[in-house]
Structure 1
């Protein structure tokens, strides 16, 4: 918050000895949406270009939420024209931070299943 206070909730506390490491935070230069827009492309297992230019010109980072009705489905998010093909499993709910291409504001997304939805939480 404005006072630099961070709240953390762990449903298993104190039974498990989980660690929380804050490695950075945003203080300016980003817009976060109360109602994150759905930016999901067609789910057909082929990379699709998702353009974020309508949200911010020349973005350097996009905060993405992935939501799925079931775990274990595969997705990939990468910078446009990046050649690595890295699939990840959606465990019902995941998050990603990506650097879109500049100045085009494009990123590529590949979804295995139509139940995976992507929401733009914020952009900077």
Structure 2
């Protein structure tokens, strides 16, 4: 899975959170007949991204081992970056980004080193 896919997941998550928060704070949301809970969107994003991740994982190889687990986990983690950005937690999003980058690169390095 290319980096573009991860960026799109993060941007989509951030956009959904931003639009939801803007709506929740707008005058339209002040109507008593409307109940707004922005945290429900987080649940929806996580569920939707889980569906994308499951699609990446559901590709069995010939030896019976699952493929795509790393991609599925990375998609899910990138969604958290988008949610943090959409909520305005940019320091947390930067920390999460750096942590994901380090973890993915360390495991790549260990995998390459182990196959020598």
Scaled to the shorter chain, the TM-score interval is under 0.3
Q: TM-score, normalised by structure 2?
A: 0.26
Using CA pairs under 8 Å that are at least 6 residues apart, name the structure with larger relative contact order, 1 or 2.
1
Structure in which a larger fraction of residues adopt strand: 1
Structure in which a larger fraction of residues adopt helix: 2
Q: TM-score, normalised by structure 1?
A: 0.25
